[in-house]
Amino acid sequence: MIELEGLTKRYGEKVAVDNLTFTVRPGIVTGFLGPNGAGKSTTMRMILGLDHPTAGDVRVDGTHYDRLKDPLTNIGALLEAKGVHPGRSAQNHLLWLAQSNGIPERRVREVLDEVGLTAVARKKAKGFSLGMGQRLGIAAALLGDPRILMFDEPVNGLDPEGIHWIRTLMKSLAEQGRTVFVSSHLMSEMALTADHLVVIGQGRLLADTSMAEFIERNSRSYVRVRTPQREALLDALHRAGVTAVDGADGTLEVDGTPAEAIGELAARNGVVLHELSPQQASLEEAFMQLTAESVEYHAHTGAPLPPQQQQQWGESWRKG
Amino acid sequence: MSTPQPPMPQSAAAEWPAAPGAAPSAPAYPTYTSPIPVVRTHLGHALASEWTKIRSVRSTMWTLGVLVALVVGIGLLTGLVIANADPDLGGESPLSLGFFGLLLGSMCLITLGVLTTASEYGTGMIRTTMVACPSRGRVLAAKALVFFLVAFVVTLVCASVVGLLHVSLLEEYNAAEPTGEEWLKGTVGVSLYLALLGTLSLAVGSIVRHSAGAITIMIAAVLAPLVIALFMFSSSLRDVQQALFEYSIPNQMSIFYANSLSESGPSDWDPLWIMLAVTAAALAGAFALLKKRDV
Ligand SMILES: Nc1ncnc2c1ncn2[C@@H]1O[C@H](COP(=O)(O)OP(=O)(O)OP(=O)(O)O)[C@@H](O)[C@H]1O
Ligand SMILES: [Mg+2]
């Protein structure tokens, strides 16, 4: 279990993590989501006692990290930066780690085997591909067979098979009763792995909810309608007690009414339709809306911003 | 790459029934119990892991190799050249000829000392290190101890070999037979001094967190005082020039051979105590900063 209480980190003027309070529970996979620069890695570094919090507190199984006597058997972590000397072999990297925590040396072989690096155990880390480096980091996290596992963007650089492997690994680790805390930018990835979601933006907590609840609230379906007779259609819909909102490119979006009903209504009123299509908002969109205001590093591609009315409804389930 | 699916062989899963998401009101959380025995780590663990780090990277082995080659090679060369010249050494101790090799060798010790700490910042390894051992003081102590012992032993062996070589090469040219005290200072003494110089570099590396920067600072610290002293022509600065000269690291090293380049200033074992004090102060500073700063 990891408990954060009002955790705050300031780098000079910059507030990287802002008053975060949440708990990461054992037995489930908790996804930690946020756009670039949201403060995910900083939060994880504070959990591990690497960065000192400006304010607030964080405990690992009730203890401050730096009080742990054999930290690697309590918590294993894969951090953002590789943290491996390029000139050292995978095996020796794991060996010094094992020695530092009095972990039996046979574990080195076991975890190498588990992540599939046995064949390159004696190769220097500098020759490793992105994915192999990531696997070595995961091997290091698993070395002490810890109760808590923390991964900072573990699927970075992994091929589809590797991604599938990580997913299965995280789920099975959680099933064994361990605490699994994993950060990502990808809502779609988390939807497949995480049981619980913590979303942050610009260091602030935006959501702390179960995955099921998030999906239920955000799998919004609506019908997109395009017509040259906009006023006539709006009138007809209004009379039928159906509300429509403006969508992108002059379309209308209708919630809670099936496409068939809208088509028949239009036919009865002699309104021409150019498009009538059922839509499903993806979780990715929901995540983007949620974090829209707190995205720090916008790309300037001239892409339209998310429709305005949608921004408000992210608000309704926002907590913290 | 093959990826075995189920992770570790575990029994704990059975103790925890399904549906953990059921959000129990009393936190009856599942717990995972590892079969790995719980160990209370101590300095010994940190020492073992630092020793593995040092010996498992080729660059440290190379640096030590260069150190041995420099000290022994230059020692051998000076010995042979002098013997060839067929001189009359007039009862001087041949041990002092080891000085040049060791002076150059000190650059290797500086490099290795700095790399022991600073290079971890370059690779991001320091985070792995501090996660594995959150007691930062223990990490620094382990690094310093392991490095000091390696540096001392290697330097001692080199200095002793070179000393024996010179004595046997130059016996017939009326060189003095070194006394026990001279042997002690010319081998153990100067090796302790250089190992401390390397440890000072290690502390500086930990403070500066940048390999090239720290190496530059240390090499400047060894050479700059002498160079500055050479260019101090003004007579009003005579005292400063003298002090710079006497307390420069090369001059302090030469005191171990009792043929100090100057008459006043530190003598006997003084250089060792001076270096010990400076290194202790630098380590204390490095420790305080390490505690305070983010990794
Ligand atoms: N050591 C530091 N000094 C100054 N600013 C920092 C430092 N570390 C992080 N920051 C700033 O804090 C903010 C949060 O960074 P962090 O790396 O935690 O974000 P993140 O959520 O992990 O992002 P990403 O998804 O890109 O990895 C960023 O704006 C970053 O610039
Ligand atoms: Mg990050």
Q: Which domains does chain A have, with CATH numbers?
A: 2-216 (3.40.50.300), 221-298+305-319 (3.30.70)
Between A160 and B1, where is the model more confident?
A160
- Cα of A23 from ligand 1 centre, angstroms: 21
The residue whose C-alpha atom lies closest to atom 17 belonging to ligand 1 is: A41
Q: How far is B51 from chain A (nearest CA, A)?
A: 8
Task: Give the torsion through C-alpha atoms of B73, B79, B84, B86, to 10 deg.
Answer: 170
Token pair for A92: 């020796």
> Cβ separation of B20 and A99 shorter than 8 Å?
no
Is A54 an interface residue toward B (CB < 8 Å)? no
Mean pLDDT estimate for chain A? 88
Would you state the pLDDT for residue B251? Answer: 86
User: Alpha-carbon distance A173 to A27, whole Å?
Assistant: 8
Between A218 and A296, where is the model more confident?
A218
ipTM above 0.85, yes or no: no
User: Alpha-carbon distance B62 to B68, whole Å?
Assistant: 10
A37 lines ligand 1 (CB under 6 A): yes
Residue B154 has pLDDT above 80, yes or no: yes
Which residue in B154, B193, B149, B132 sits closest to B69, CA to CA?
Answer: B154
Mean pLDDT estimate for chain B? 85
Residue A72 has pLDDT above 70, yes or no: yes
Best of A41, A156, A184 for a ligand 1 pocket test (most atoms within 8 Å of beta carbon): A41
User: Alpha-carbon distance A183 to A203, whole Å?
Assistant: 14
Residue A301 has pLDDT above 60, yes or no: no
Query: pLDDT tens digit string along B66-78?
Result: 999 999 999 999 8
On chain A, the residues whose CB falls within 8 A of the CB of B289 are: none
Residues of A (162-221) whose Cβ lies below 8 Å from B: 162, 165, 168-169, 172-178, 195-196, 210, 212
Residue A296: pLDDT band with limits 50, 70, 90: low
Would you state the pLDDT for residue A1? Answer: 92
Query: pLDDT tens digit string along A180-199?
Result: 999 998 888 888 899 999 99
User: Alpha-carbon distance A91 to A97, whole Å?
Assistant: 10
Residue B161 has pLDDT above 50, yes or no: yes
- Closest ligand 1 atom, CA of A42? 18
CA A73 centroid distance within chain? 25
Amino acid identity, position B144: A
Region of poorest pLDDT, from A37-46, A84-93, A168-177, B30-39? B30-39
Cβ–Cβ < 8 Å for A182, A151 = yes
Residue B139 has pLDDT above 80, yes or no: yes
Average pLDDT estimate for A108-134:
94
Which of A73, A97, A176 shows the shortest C-beta gap to B10? A176
> Cβ separation of A73 and B39 shorter than 8 Å?
yes
Report which secondary-structure segment, H or E, holds B156. helix B136-170
- Closest ligand 1 atom, CA of B294? 1
Global confidence as pTM? 0.83
Cβ–Cβ < 8 Å for A112, A90 = yes
- Cα of A200 from ligand 2 centre, angstroms: 12
Ligand closest to Cα of A36 equals 1
Would you state the pLDDT for residue A316? Answer: 40
User: Alpha-carbon distance B252 to B245, whole Å?
Assistant: 9
Amino acid identity, position A267: A
Q: How far is B236 from chain A (nearest CA, A)?
A: 47
Between A109 and A295, where is the model more confident?
A109
User: Alpha-carbon distance A218 to A212, whole Å?
Assistant: 10
A247 lines ligand 1 (CB under 6 A): no
Tally of CB atoms within 10 A around B150: 21
Token pair for B287: 């420790």
Query: pLDDT tens digit string along A127-165?
Result: 999 889 999 999 999 999 999 999 999 988 888 999 999
Which of B20, B30, B135 shows the shortest C-beta gap to A66? B135
Report which secondary-structure segment, H or E, holds A254. strand A252-255
Token pair for B88: 């009359």
A38 lines ligand 1 (CB under 6 A): yes
Would you state the pLDDT for residue B2? Answer: 45
A185 lines ligand 1 (CB under 6 A): yes
Region of poorest pLDDT, from A104-108, A169-173, A208-212, B192-196? A208-212
Would you state the pLDDT for residue B230? Answer: 83
Query: pLDDT tens digit string along B179-214?
Result: 888 889 889 999 999 999 999 999 999 999 999 999
Best of A14, A20, A50 for a ligand 1 pocket test (most atoms within 8 Å of beta carbon): A14
User: Alpha-carbon distance B27 to B203, whole Å?
Assistant: 47
Residue B16: pLDDT band with limits 50, 70, 90: very low
User: Alpha-carbon distance A150 to A138, whole Å?
Assistant: 10
Token pair for B220: 């400047």
- Closest ligand 1 atom, CA of A34? 21
Region of poorest pLDDT, from A233-237, B163-167, B261-265? B261-265
At A201, give phi and psi (nearest 5°). Answer: -145, 130
Inter-chain contacts counted by CB atoms under 8 A, chains A and B: 181
On chain B, the residues whose CB falls within 8 A of the CB of A113 are: 4
On chain B, the residues whose CB falls within 8 A of the CB of A92 are: 52, 56
> Cβ separation of A210 and B21 shorter than 8 Å?
yes
Residues of A (132-151) whose Cβ lies below 8 Å from B: 135, 140, 142, 144-147
Would you state the pLDDT for residue A299? Answer: 61
Residue B262 has pLDDT above 60, yes or no: no
Average pLDDT estimate for A282-288:
78
Average pLDDT estimate for B287-293:
96
On chain A, the residues whose CB falls within 8 A of the CB of B125 are: 83-85
Is B123 an interface residue toward A (CB < 8 Å)? yes
Average pLDDT estimate for A26-31:
96
> Cβ separation of B34 and A145 shorter than 8 Å?
yes
Would you state the pLDDT for residue A300? Answer: 57
Between A58 and A243, where is the model more confident?
A58
